[in-house]
Amino acid sequence: MSSSMELWTVCLSLFINHGFAGKMKIVEEPNTFGLNNHFMAQGSRLQPKATPSPASGPVHLHRLAGKCFSLTESTYKYEFCPFHNVTQHEQSFRWNAYSGILGIWQEWEMANNTYTGMWMRDGDTCGTRNRETKVIFVCSTSSKLAQVSEPSTCVYSLIFETPLVCHPHSLLVYPTLTEKLQGEWDEAEQARYEGLITEQVEQFG
Ligand SMILES: *[C@@H]1O[C@H](CO)[C@@H](O)[C@H](O)[C@H]1NC(C)=O
Ligand SMILES: *[C@@H]1O[C@H](CO)[C@@H](O)[C@H](O)[C@H]1NC(C)=O
């Protein structure tokens, strides 16, 4: 059912319940009804293209799963649900205000033994590709979505502030590995170290 149809139904039922006095009141407030109905319609209209991956990475961050953090910037409200999704909702009274998925949780970006960003991919179509979002975790005294930008078309960048990453080891990859992977990592590091020694010996020997 379209928003305008819902609005009409609400108006009609109020009219029947309250007669002309009620009708006068409704004419003053159609936007309130439109907005409420509209936001409910928005939620159900979003069709995810993918299912989120299971939570992964630092275990102490898994408690963020199931929570959502929002930021309203000019006419858009952004919502970040860690290990789930990022969505965007135009704050407008228009019946067809834009609402979309900017990414579904997929995987961590890692560099230098550190989790450097949470990738949310397979968002709504944008030309020939899908919208995607990288969420960067930054230490702060409270958890909040602090910043949203679009560094390249349909690729979004979010800054999420949280006390959960203030410890210098909180985003290290190594402690999150299984014993087996730690063993493989140690071997690779050892080989790399020996490679460096060999290189130096060749260079300076
Ligand atoms: C986004 O994630 C939240 C939190 O898990 C969930 O309630 C909501 O339905 C998700 N939205 C979409 C469009 O997948
Ligand atoms: C890699 O991580 C170490 C320890 O956290 C840091 O000191 C170093 O600057 C990082 N290097 C790069 C290239 O980011």
Place of tokens 């450097």: 116
Average model confidence (pLDDT) for the chain?
A: 82
Q: Note the pLDDT of residue 21.
A: 41
Ligand 1 atom closest to 87 (CA) = 13
Angle in degrees, CA 168, 174, 177, rounded to 5: 135
Whose atoms come closest to the Cα of 47: which ligand?
Answer: 1
Asked if residue 50 has its Cβ within 6 Å of ligand 1, the reply is: no
Contact call for residues 126 and 153 (beta carbons, < 8 A): yes
Q: Please report the pLDDT score of residue 90 as a whole number.
A: 93
Give the phi and the psi of residue 132 in degrees, each rounded to 5.
-145, 160
CB of 183 within 6 A of ligand 1: the answer is no
Question: What CATH topology corresponds to 59-192?
Answer: Cation-dependent Mannose-6-phosphate Receptor; Chain A (2.70.130)
**Two tokens at 157?**
């960048």
Integer Cα distance of 191 and 23 in angstroms: 80
- Tell me 174's DSSP state: G
Mean pLDDT of 181-200: 85
Q: Which residues pair with 159 in a beta bridge?
A: 136, 147
106 DSSP β-pair partners: none
Q: Which of 77, 84, 101 gets mutated to test ligand 1 (max ligand atoms within 8 A of its CB)?
A: 84
φ/ψ of 121, rounded to 5, equals -120, 180
Pairwise CA distance, residues 103 & 129, whole Å: 12
Quote the pLDDT of residue 15: 41
Distance 104 CA to ligand 1 centre (A): 9
Residue 204's pLDDT band (boundaries 50, 70, 90)? low
Q: Is 46 in the pocket of ligand 1 (CB under 6 A)?
A: yes
- What is the 3 state secondary structure string of 47-85? CCCCCCCCCCCCHHHHHHCCCCEEEEECCEEEEEECCCE
Q: Over the stretch 26-39, which tens digit does the pLDDT of each residue have? A: 333 344 444 444 45
Give the model confidence (pLDDT) of 53-65 as tens digits.
999 999 999 999 9
pLDDT tens digits along 83-127: 999 999 999 888 888 899 999 999 999 999 999 999 999 999 999
Question: Looking at ligand 1, which atom is closest to the CA of residue 46?
Answer: 13
Over its C-alpha atoms, the chain yields an Rg (Å, rounded) of 24
Atom of ligand 1 lying closest to residue 85 CA:
1
Mean pLDDT of 73-84: 95
Answer with the residue of higher pLDDT: 83 or 13: 83
The percentage of the chain sitting over the pLDDT mark of 90, rounded to a whole number, equals 60
Q: Report the relative pairing of strands 132-139 and 155-162 from DSSP bridges.
A: parallel
Local confidence band at 205 (pLDDT 50, 70, 90 cut-offs): low
